[in-house]
Structure 1
């Protein structure tokens, strides 16, 4: 199994009279890629607020949901990836149908692996690295020992989740 880094929406394959598979509609291909278009759509549709009232930008919200294997994050990810291809006019419903098809055949692990790769390489790599640095900085500045221990525990848990995701991604290849 491999990482899924592209979705082809609406592809139709039929069997001709000779029993051969023939593509009668090539569909619309969306590449999973970080970009300014992705970021703009993510911030418009998916930014959120945490329990302390801090605003979380859309890209970070999607990344965090992906690391927690939240299935809805796959839809958000591909919806934002579609912003890189405005001429395709892909709907969220079409994305959901294609993700469902893949999930039914292969499970969701290849979808998560492909989406998370976008955040660990390329356009968003520095953003993720900076997010990690800021978390470490907040631990070092925390004076309350209980809060500091909680933050350290949260960072350790995040590292374990990311290691699991990385190992899953490696075994998928």
Structure 2
């Protein structure tokens, strides 16, 4: 479970419809080929790569269920910085965030489909060079996944 202390309250991350809606609204991106990458996929992939801005995006979405009492981004940032000071680095924060998404009942099927698509991506490519490059990219993601699960 992922928790963050903000203004003296311990707040739990929740992966639900509000998470997904806000992720798509604020954090959808385009990949290098110009394809739309939904908010869930962007956050999920970038948590694997220890992207600090996506850690903030995760918490922004994961606390959206609070509606009226939701902390401001600056408060979330301050709480993340406090945790980093306490923990000595960001590893625990990233693992908690990633696993909250990966193991949530809400995103379970999407996470499973993500890895199926990664396997398909690995095999795609017009040349052997392209296939080898994609296989290497997938290997990096798979290794990051294993580290998140340790």
CA RMSD after TM alignment: 1.6
Deviation at residue 141 of structure 1 after TM alignment:
4.8
Deviation at residue 42 of structure 1 after TM alignment:
0.6
1:74 aligns with 2:71: no
Deviation at residue 161 of structure 1 after TM alignment:
1.3
TM-score (norm 1): 0.79
1:50 aligns with 2:47: no
Deviation at residue 58 of structure 1 after TM alignment:
0.8
Encode CA deviations 1:7-49: one digit per residue, 9 max, x unaligned.
Answer: 22111xxxxxxxxxxxxxxx3x432121110010011111101
- The alpha-carbon distance between structure 1 residues 10 and 151, as it changes in their structure 2 partners (threshold 3 A), is same
2:20–2:40 contact (8 Å) kept in structure 1: yes
Deviation at residue 93 of structure 1 after TM alignment:
0.6
Which of 9, 18, 28 in structure 1 is aligned with 2:6? 9
State the 4+ residue runs in structure 1 displaced beyond 6 angstroms: none
1:110 aligns with 2:92: yes
Give the aligned partner of residue 101 of structure 2: 119
Give the aligned partner of residue 93 of structure 1: 74
User: What SS class does the counterpart of residue 85 from structure 1 fall into?
Assistant: helix
In 1, distance between residues paired with 2:49 and 2:78? 22
Give aligned pairs, total.
148
User: 5+ unaligned residues in a row in structure 2: which ranges?
Assistant: none
1:38 aligns with 2:4: no
In 2, distance between residues paired with 1:45 and 1:98? 21
In 1, distance between residues paired with 2:119 and 2:7? 44
TM-score (norm 2): 0.90
Give the aligned partner of residue 127 of structure 2: 144
In 1, distance between residues paired with 2:57 and 2:124? 34
Deviation at residue 139 of structure 1 after TM alignment:
3.6
Give the aligned partner of residue 148 of structure 2: 165
Give the aligned partner of residue 112 of structure 2: 129
When structure 1 is superposed on structure 2, of 157-166 and 90-99 the one drifting more is 157-166
